[in-house]
Amino acid sequence: MSTRVDAKPAGPEERILRGSGRACRLRVGGRIEELDELTGGAPRIVLADETVLRLHGGRLPAGPVVVVGEGEQAKTLANAERLYEELLRLEADRGTFLVGVGGGVVCDVTGFVAATYLRGLPVGFVPTTLLAQVDAAIGGKNGVNLRGFKNLVGTIRQPEFVLCDLGLLETLPPRERNNGLAEVVKHALIADPALFTFLEENAAAASALEPGVTRRLVRDSIAVKAAIVERDEREAGERRLLNFGHSFGHAIEKATGLSHGEAVSVGMAIAAGLSVERGLLPRPEAERVFRLLDALGLPRRTEADAASLFAGLRKDKKRSGSRIAFIFLERIGRGVAVELELDDLEALFSAWVRSAEGRKAWEHP
Reply yes or no on whether 141 is catalytic: yes
Q: Can 364 be counted among the known catalytic residues?
A: no
Which one is catalytic: 44, 157, 187, 239?
239
**Residue of 157, 246, 254, 300 marked active site:** 246
User: Does 235 qualify as catalytic in the annotation?
Assistant: yes
| Residue among 150, 157, 178, 183 flagged as catalytic | 183
DSSP 179-211: HHHHHHHHHHHHH-HHHHHHHHHTHHHHHTT-H
Catalytic residue among 75, 219, 225, 240: 225
Distance CA 212, CA 73 (A): 34
225 belongs to the catalytic site: yes
- Indicate if 187 belongs to the active site: no
Give me the catalytic one of 160, 200, 233, 235.
235
Question: Does residue 30 contact residue 165 with C-beta atoms inside 8 Å?
Answer: yes
Consecutive H or E run containing 123: strand 123-127
Between the two ends of the chain, the Cα-to-Cα distance in Å is 27
Annotated catalytic residue 246: yes
- 119 among known catalytic residues: yes
Query: 262 and 179 in contact (C-beta within 8 Å)?
Result: yes
142 catalytic, yes or no?
no
Q: What is the 3-state secondary structure (H, E, C) of 261-316?
A: HHHHHHHHHHHHHHHHHCCCCCHHHHHHHHHHHHHCCCCCCCCCCHHHHHHHHCCC
Catalytic position from the list 150, 177, 243, 254: 243
Question: Are residues 337 and 279 in contact, defined by beta-carbon separation less than 8 angstroms?
Answer: no
Note whether 305 and 168 are within 8 A (CB): no
Q: What is the DSSP letter of 51?
A: H
Query: Residue 281: how many CB atoms within 10 A of its CB?
Result: 23
Q: Which of 44, 75, 141, 219 is catalytic?
A: 141
Cα-Cα-Cα-Cα dihedral sign, residues 278, 351, 324, 289: negative
How far apart CA 170 and CA 148 sit, in angstroms, is 31
d(CA 356, CA 270): 14
Catalytic residue among 44, 186, 260, 300: 260
Phi, psi for 63 (deg, rounded to 5)? 150, 170
DSSP bridge pairs for 243: none
Residues annotated as catalytic are 119, 141, 183, 225, 235, 239, 243, 246, 250, 260
